[in-house]
Amino acid sequence: MGRIISIVNQKGGVGKTTTSVNLAAALAILKKKVLIIDIDPQGNSTSGLGLPKENLVNTVYDVFIDKTKIENTIKNTEVDNLHIVPSNNDLIGANIELHTIENKEKILKNQIDNIKFKYDFILIDCPPSLGYLTLNALVASDSILIPLQCEFFAMEGLAQLMNTFNLIKKRLNTKLKIEGIVLTMFDNKTHISGEVENEVRKHFSNKVFKTTIPRNSKLAESPSFGKPIMLYDIVSKGSTSYFLLAKEVINNG
């Protein structure tokens, strides 16, 4: 039965999609069967894995709004063992459209229940906001993985996210747990990266992954080529880091 992990942060620009794509690819290369569900209207996980957002038929929008079976939206990627339910800007208005639908917060969970036995991991790339889409992801998930950028306001955003997590756990998904916090855009040459790391490890200790994801030019370039870092530059620091993170996630199970 697949482990369902939402990759979530209410703050944008923290490396959420970079983590979704590259953690998924690393897990797949390590012989795990992996599905990404892209529920971000920007569709960056979709384009980051080489799918043209403009010409897609059957996306996650159809799962939410038209009750299309999720298995009919799954697409192959260049990486063996890695599949994706894609997204595009059709999803922009979904929060408004979902407002009138009954049991709206359980749509994704009910769909994933039909396919989770086919995968070792299902990763959900969430939008950087708490609307019905993210709510669906958290209700459907076993755990959340939080990418945290090593910058001044990181802890402030994390506090807000933990409030959201506790609320969802209390009211809608009592089994939800924290998979871990991964420090992203880490630069050991800067004072602030070290400060953020020390602060996060002090407050969350065993919930913080040992692996940190560095600032890395190859990691930043790879999405524009529609490839995860492993297919773009497998020997880069970014690639090595995501393989290490994938092994930590596997060992969490």
Q: What is the pLDDT of residue 54?
A: 84
Cβ distance 85 to 70 under 8 Å?
yes
Cβ distance 53 to 75 under 8 Å?
no
Phi, psi of 4 (to 5 degrees): -105, 115
Q: pLDDT (tens digit, 9 = 90+) per residue, 90-120?
A: 999 888 899 889 899 999 999 999 999 999 9
- For 51-63, the three-class secondary structure string (H helix, E strand, C coil) is CCHHHCCCCHHHH
Among residues 169, 63, 175, 168, the alpha carbon closest in space to that of 112 is found at 63
Q: Would you kindly state where each structural domain of the chain is located, as residue ranges?
A: 3-252
Over range 31-58, report the average pLDDT: 94
Q: What is the pLDDT of residue 126?
A: 96
Q: What is the pLDDT of residue 53?
A: 86
CATH code of domain 3-252:
3.40.50.300
The CA–CA distances, whole Å, from 75 to 52, 59, 103, 202, 227 equal 12, 9, 27, 41, 15
Among residues 218, 219, 147, 216, the alpha carbon closest in space to that of 187 is found at 216
pLDDT at 231 over 90: yes
